[in-house]
Amino acid sequence: MKRGGLKLAEWVTYKNHKIKACSQPLGTDRWTPKALAWLSTGSREPMKTLQGESHEISNTEKKANEIALQKAKKWVDQRQ
């Protein structure tokens, strides 16, 4: 799905959590990983934003999103 030329990431379900990669552009060929995660059933917990570290900056949005999803899944696993 696209809006205004930008791809909109889909929510992914992982261990009863919803995760969405939404990496941010930093300029030409530089993307910082970013993901949103929240418990999808019966929770009043706020949405968690997971940011990439400076060493995780990638040259493509796809790679940054892959890193962001891995970070979000790790965060979910640590909460189980």
- Residues contacting 76, CB < 8 A, separation 6+: 14, 15, 17, 19, 37
CA distance 52 to 67: 8
Residue 44: pLDDT band (50, 70, 90) is confident
Q: How many helices, marked H, and strands, marked E, lie in the chain?
A: 1, 8
Q: Which residues pair with 48 in a beta bridge?
A: 37
pLDDT at 7 over 70: no
Residue 3: pLDDT band (50, 70, 90) is very low
In this prediction, residues 55-74 reach a mean pLDDT of 96
User: What is the predicted pLDDT for the residue at 45?
Assistant: 75
